[in-house]
Amino acid sequence: MKTLLLVAGGRGGSDFFQGLLDGHTQILSFPLYLRIDNDLINILSEKDSKKLSARFLKKYPEFFNSKINKFERHHRLGKNKNSYFKVNKKKFIFNFIKLNKIKKNTKFEKLKLLHQAYALSKGEKLKDKKIFFIHTHLVSWTKKFIEEIKPTNFEILHIIRHPLASLSSPIKNWLNYKNGESFFPKDLYFQIDLVFNGIFDLMKLGKVKIIKYESLHWKNTKVMNNFCKIYKIKYQNCLKLCTKNDLLWWGDSVSGKWLTGIDNLFQIKIDKNYFFDRDLHFFQFINKKIINKYKYNFLFKNKKIYFNFVPMKCELLVWKNSIKHFIFRFRWKHLASIPYFYLKRVIMINRLMVKNIKLPYSID
């Protein structure tokens, strides 16, 4: 069975792509991303099957009752936005105990059995499964997954969007989500680093294929057909719908919008309220290799700006947000982190200029 690890780009639609795969009879998967941390590693090290499955249930309750996951709007699923899913916990534990008969199973094998127990609890047939699909979500989580859980026969899928949109969208959405309470210098640096270095970091971990978020909208049938051909599974009509356990999904709460799934009229948009013109020219120039490779358009005049040492508008806005939260909530750590992540960004951008690595193939 081929193992695929899905890693998100900056607001790149990884949950959307996972939702398109949901319901495919040949894919073994949970409905959400998997948090890869020390707690999960310890759970998979547990030898007692009943204790292991019970601990897994406690760690990921949203897998078994979507009503509790309000951030992802899994309490508002279905055509009328009033449905949610449940998976029987007792059946899950029973199925895992029955499947996990070999005492020397590896962490990876145990994780696969947890997925199989989940599938059986939903009434799926295991004999049909050809792909073991895991949404590892973050580059750091994927690295930990590969190093600690040690998957076999795996590839990495990295979903991206136009580099400028991949910066604009998370900056705008997170600064506006709940008054910016989750977006500070560290988070801005994370987004910039993900857009510029995400592909290169993943290439150090294994074989990578790229999926363009825009193509999932503009050329959905072609992309999903190509995906099926590459991984030797059947094309099924469920690939046209974004669902969670077969219930329509409308996007998470960060965007503030109710998304309708595949959008043939999807547009690449950059909100200039969060950037100076020089910032956009700079970001575009240092990403020209990615733009050219994946056939994106240059959205602005292609000026050669190699260095940008002065603060960018998005940085100033994030610093202002940090000061605001320091004044009203005394979150001094975010305020103190401003010079550190500013200098780190300057150094990171300079290092980008020396990279000359062949970029991976795009499923397009």
- The secondary structure of 283-324 as a DSSP string is HHHHTHHHHHHTTPPP-S---------SPPHHHHHHHHHHHH
Q: Point out which residues pair with 135 in neighbouring strands.
A: 6
The SS3 call for residue 237 is: helix
Predicted pLDDT at 303: 79
**Across 98-112, 240-254, 302-316, least confident range:** 302-316
Predicted pLDDT at 275: 96
pLDDT score of 353 more than 80? no
The SS3 call for residue 131 is: strand
Span 51-103, pLDDT tens digits: 999 999 999 999 999 999 999 999 999 999 999 999 999 999 999 999 998 88
Which is higher by pLDDT, 335 or 319?
Answer: 319
pLDDT score of 348 more than 90? no
pLDDT score of 199 more than 70? yes
CA distance 361 to 248: 30
Cβ pair 66, 77 in contact under 8 A: yes
Question: What mean pLDDT do residues 2-17 have?
Answer: 93
**Rounded to an integer, what is the distance from CA 323 to the centroid of its chain?**
29
Cβ pair 136, 125 in contact under 8 A: no
CA distance 32 to 115: 12
CA distance 190 to 9: 11
Cα angle at 12 between 349 and 3, to 5 degrees? 105
pLDDT range class, residue 354, cuts 50, 70, 90: very low
Predicted pLDDT at 364: 85
Predicted pLDDT at 44: 97
Predicted pLDDT at 329: 65
**Across 15-29, 164-178, 316-330, least confident range:** 316-330
Span 257-275, pLDDT tens digits: 898 889 999 999 999 999 9
**In this structure, what DSSP letter does residue 146 have?**
I
User: What size, in residues, is the chain?
Assistant: 364
pLDDT range class, residue 350, cuts 50, 70, 90: low
Predicted pLDDT at 325: 85
pLDDT score of 188 more than 50? yes
Span 210-238, pLDDT tens digits: 999 999 999 999 999 999 999 999 999 99
Q: What is the pTM of this model?
A: 0.94
Annotated domain spans of the chain: 2-165+206-248
- How many angstroms separate the most distant Cα atoms in the chain? 62
| Percentage, residues of the chain above pLDDT 70 | 97
Question: Which pair of structure tokens corresponds to residue 55?
Answer: 């601990």
Residue type, 108: F
Select from 213, 248, 249, 247 the least CA-distant residue to 72. Answer: 249
Predicted pLDDT at 351: 58
Predicted pLDDT at 352: 57
**H-state helical runs in the chain:** 14-21, 38-45, 49-59, 89-99, 107-121, 139-144, 163-176, 185-203, 213-218, 220-230, 277-286, 288-293, 313-329, 332-336, 338-352
- Among 200-214, 244-258, 328-342, top mean pLDDT goes to 200-214
CA distance 361 to 227: 12
Question: What mean pLDDT do residues 272-281 have?
Answer: 94
Average pLDDT over the chain reads 93
